[in-house]
Amino acid sequence: MSVVFRDLLKKVGSGQHTKENLTRKEAAIATKMMLLGEATPAQIGAFLIAHRIKRPTGEELAGMLDTYDELGPKLQPIPSQRTVMVLGIPHDGRTRTAPITPITALLLATAGQPVVMHGGDRLPTKYGLPLVEIWQGLGVDWTNLTLEGTQKIFEQTGIGFVYTPRHFPLINSMWEYRDQIGKRPPFATMELIWCPYAGDAHIVAGFVHPPTEGMFQTALELRGVTQFTTVKGLEGSCDLPRDRTAIIGLGEGTTIKRLHLVPWEYGFSNKNVPLGTTAELIENMQGVLSGKSSELMQTALWNGGFYLWRAGICTDIQTGIAKAEELLITGAVAEKLQQLTQMVNSVFTISFEAISASNAM
């Protein structure tokens, strides 16, 4: 049993009146000991649930991110006139509303804004539809690529996806604990602002509960992140809602500016697209990519318009909406998807042939 970890566990799990917050360094140590298996399973399970009950602080999230930076994968900097945008998403997927993030990423990349995403398979606690399955349905399979292969694709297309089960296997055991305790621990909160990119980045993070946004701001400030966007999005994602005012935080340096966007003021109906089967979603996304008018197209334009403006590509959101519509209707976004698909297939084929040749020697 780890005595060091036991002392950290005692701090967060000592009860309502005697519990203590961890320092940034202590949070980093605790995270590292859990990922490396230096704490016992009993200690890890107890820590995760106790930390959830206590609630994390921004300083603790910063320490957890320090360890992810030390042990985790990173895509290397690419030459770009624009700061890479990292879209943070819940790692347990979606169950109620149709995701639009892959279309948003394709729109941004088509317009010259590099994008990095990260995630895994269907995972606890929701076991919802993850982005990697949507990409597979669109013809892009990120799951078989090495990190080096993903880097090549990122450099050529402006889109990268860090597939955590393959690229960051140390965190796989944490998903088992999440399943066993039946609740999201603070790891899930921290991962929304995790940045698996080694260069300057613009962090975009979705959230559900308002206090989470404050934790994000503190953690990012402690880590020296000067550009970030927070979105009270659909199911905790960074997809803007259409059934209510979108509450957004625009982070610049140490300040955050509040923005309220009302979708019907931009001509959109107050209705989110429900999530049906994966096959139905893929079919609807392919319709969007072909320029077909639909409710999902409206969601794509709403999100595309905002993010094109936020990236500095368009001078205002209305112009961004028009630009998103132009890129979709003219087929430019569909061409970007075709380029991405061809690159992924090419890189995987080369890697597979190299492995086969090596095994044959």
| 313-348 tens-digit pLDDT | 999 999 999 999 999 999 999 999 999 999 999 998
Q: Are 95 and 30 found together in one domain?
A: no
pLDDT at 361: 56
Say if 60 falls within a structural domain: no
Question: Among the residues of the chain, which ranges form H helices?
Answer: 3-12, 24-35, 41-54, 58-71, 101-110, 131-137, 147-157, 164-167, 172-181, 186-191, 210-222, 278-289, 295-310, 317-329, 332-360
Nearest to 207 by CA among 127, 90, 85: 90
Say if 350 falls within a structural domain: no
Mean pLDDT rounded to a whole number for the chain: 94
pLDDT at 269: 93
Q: Which of 14, 39, 54 finishes a domain?
A: 54
Q: Are 228 and 327 found together in one domain?
A: yes
| 231-279 tens-digit pLDDT | 999 999 999 999 999 999 999 877 899 999 999 999 999 999 999 999 9
The mean pLDDT value for 13-39 works out to 94
Q: How many domains does the structure of the chain reveal?
A: 2
| 174-209 tens-digit pLDDT | 999 999 999 999 999 999 999 999 999 999 999 999
Q: Are 27 and 163 found together in one domain?
A: no
Is a pLDDT exceeding 90 seen at residue 17? no
Say if 121 falls within a structural domain: yes
pLDDT at 360: 53
Q: Are 24 and 88 found together in one domain?
A: no
| 127-146 tens-digit pLDDT | 999 999 999 999 999 999 99
Do residues 187 and 48 lie in contact, with contact meaning Cβ atoms separated by under 8 Å? Answer: yes
pLDDT at 246: 97
Say if 358 falls within a structural domain: no
The mean pLDDT value for 214-224 works out to 95
| 279-306 tens-digit pLDDT | 999 999 999 999 999 999 999 999 999 9
Say if 207 falls within a structural domain: yes
CB atoms within 10 A of CB 249: 19
Q: Which backbone phi and psi does 315 adopt, to 5 degrees?
A: -75, -25
Percent of the chain with pLDDT over 70: 96
Give the separation between CA 269 and CA 15, rounded to whole angstroms.
47
Domain range enclosing 207: 84-334
Do residues 157 and 336 lie in contact, with contact meaning Cβ atoms separated by under 8 Å? Answer: yes
Q: How confident is the model at residue 97 (pLDDT cuts 50, 70, 90)?
A: very high
Give the separation between CA 65 and CA 72, rounded to whole angstroms.
10
Percent of the chain with pLDDT over 90: 89
Q: How confident is the model at residue 93 (pLDDT cuts 50, 70, 90)?
A: very high
| 109-122 tens-digit pLDDT | 999 999 999 999 99
Say if 92 falls within a structural domain: yes
Do residues 218 and 59 lie in contact, with contact meaning Cβ atoms separated by under 8 Å? Answer: yes
Give the separation between CA 123 and CA 14, rounded to whole angstroms.
30
Is a pLDDT exceeding 80 seen at residue 22? yes
* CATH code at position 316: 3.40.1030.10
CB atoms within 10 A of CB 253: 9
The pTM of the whole model exceeds 0.85: yes
Q: Are 152 and 217 found together in one domain?
A: yes
Say if 240 falls within a structural domain: yes
pLDDT at 350: 65
Say if 76 falls within a structural domain: no
